[in-house]
Amino acid sequence: MKRRDRFYLNLTLILSLGLLFSSCSKDEITELQPKVQSTEALNTKTTNNAGVLMQAFYWDVPSGGNWWNTIDSKVSSWSNAGFNAIWLPPASKAQNGKYSMGYDPFDYYDFGQYNQMGSIETRFGSTTELQNLINSAHNEGLQVYADIVINHNSGGASENNPYTGTDTWTDFNPLSGLFDRNYNDFHPNDIETSDLGAFGGFPDLCHKKTHVQDWLWNKSNSVAKYYKNVMNFDGWRFDYVKGFNPWVVKEWNASVGGFSVGELWDGDVNYLNWWANEANSSVFDFACYYAMNDAFDGNDLTKLNNNMMWKQNATKAVTFVTNHDTDEIWNKILAYSYILTHEGYPCIFYRDYEEWLDKAKMNNLIWIHNNLASGSTSILYSDNDEYIARRNGWNSSGLIIYINSSNNFQERWIETNWSSSTIKDYTGNSSWEPVTQSGKWVKIQAPPHGYTIWSTK
């Protein structure tokens, strides 16, 4: 007989002992059950659940200029599911024209209306289709975040460069007539040999140049203000921020406002937090990403005790399970159950939601995030196979998340914030509806290779 079958056969007996357990003291319970870890809150800040971010693309989405229309057809359902924003790929014309994913930018003001780089439309569509998508998203209550690539450029013509003594591909004369640039605007130049990092051999923009600052964020028709005021983007995802100093993002944000997040690909929490504070921006929580990979694929849930950006600075942490550049975590549904119940701003990858995972389970987790997951976090228990944490509640009653990576059903006594209250599992993975004791303790369970999420009825 399977463990699960034995478990349900004994369910009636367990429930019949409820009155006996309810008369036990906390000390008596912990003598019978393994003690939990300290319930000290990891972060004293509470976060307002603003929603969930959708990364609305993946690498090499279908070419042919129809991607904006594809996303346009989905924004209503995404809004209904509980997303609050979408992140689009780099939207302007790049060197590879209709074949480019946008990370080799040429003309920041060509969204698919000029015949250059071998095409009029971008890989994703036309300017009109992009504007229609943004309008549709706004009508559905969704914000739209632009992917901003300002470390490097591509597609310039060759010119003699006195700073290198060679010809360089640094002569940019886009058909939009806006933000022309030459060797003076790239590294090396008369004021700076290099900044923090070049990428892929592309010409590396010098952000200390007045001409570059004016066209990126200072002028009334700068890239930042054009994206904000003409194209109506609401926020920014900054690509490869390791390549330049954080003051660049800070200046951009001061110029136009809006949400921003930086791609600082590093697992060092202190570095992530330093950058976020210096840039006045959120940052992707790569420390959390690496810890989840070790925890869920390495079969050691104690790795979730590691320090992460959301634990150090939750209001500036964007958590994620995968993205267009990296897809290492295989136990994805457990990872999503983690980021959608913990602090930080969770980002969901398009293909995970639309193609690879159970959408009903994802929608359930999104609902739980938006309705139950608030307040500070306390880790109640962890070992190789089990992890239990409590969100202590802010404008809702909070929750308990129980993740079980073992091959068997697991049960454990834990301390809640609820006294003499009926609770239930909001995932439907357990049919139990136990009553917490007057001392707030209760036994909960989780299925093998699964999770349960508990809160008051």
Tens of pLDDT, residue by residue over 176-233, are 999 999 999 999 999 999 999 999 999 999 999 999 999 999 999 999 999 999 999 9
Q: What angle do CA 51, 267, 304 make, to 5 degrees?
A: 65
Token pair, residue 426, equals 């909001």
Number of CB atoms found within 10 A of residue 175's CB? 15
Q: Return the closest-CA partner of residue 89 out of 52, 138, 141, 133.
A: 133
The H or E element containing residue 236 is: strand 235-238
Active site residue 239: yes
Backbone torsions φ then ψ of 68, nearest 5 degrees: -60, -40
Q: pLDDT of 58-80, one tens digit each? A: 999 999 999 999 999 999 999 99
Amino acid code (one letter) for 355: E
Domains (ranges, CATH) in the chain? 3-44+377-456 (2.60.40.1180), 52-371 (3.20.20.80)
- Local structure of 329: helix, strand or coil: coil
151 is in an annotated binding site: yes
**Exactly one of 159, 171, 263, 327 is catalytic; which is it?**
263
Sequence-distant (6+) residues with CB within 8 A of 255 are 217, 218, 222, 224, 225
For residue 188, is the peptide bond before it cis, meaning its omega torsion is within 30 degrees of 0?
yes
| CB count in 10 Å sphere of residue 353 | 22
Which of 72, 104, 107, 239 is catalytic? The answer is 239
160 is in an annotated binding site: no
Cα–Cα distance measured from residue 424 to residue 432, given in angstroms and rounded to the nearest whole number: 6
pLDDT tens, residue order, the chain (457 aa): 333 333 333 333 333 333 333 333 333 333 333 333 333 333 333 344 569 999 999 999 999 999 999 999 999 999 999 999 999 999 999 999 999 999 999 999 999 999 999 999 999 999 999 999 999 999 999 999 999 999 999 999 999 999 999 999 999 999 999 999 999 999 999 999 999 999 999 999 999 999 999 999 999 999 999 999 999 999 999 999 999 999 999 999 999 999 999 999 999 999 999 999 999 999 999 999 999 999 999 999 999 999 999 999 999 999 999 999 999 999 999 999 999 999 999 999 999 999 999 999 999 999 999 999 999 999 999 999 999 999 999 876 899 999 999 999 999 999 999 999 999 999 999 999 999 999 999 999 999 999 999 999 9
Instruction: Give yes or no for a contact between 130 and 112, defined as CB atoms under 8 angstroms apart.
Output: yes
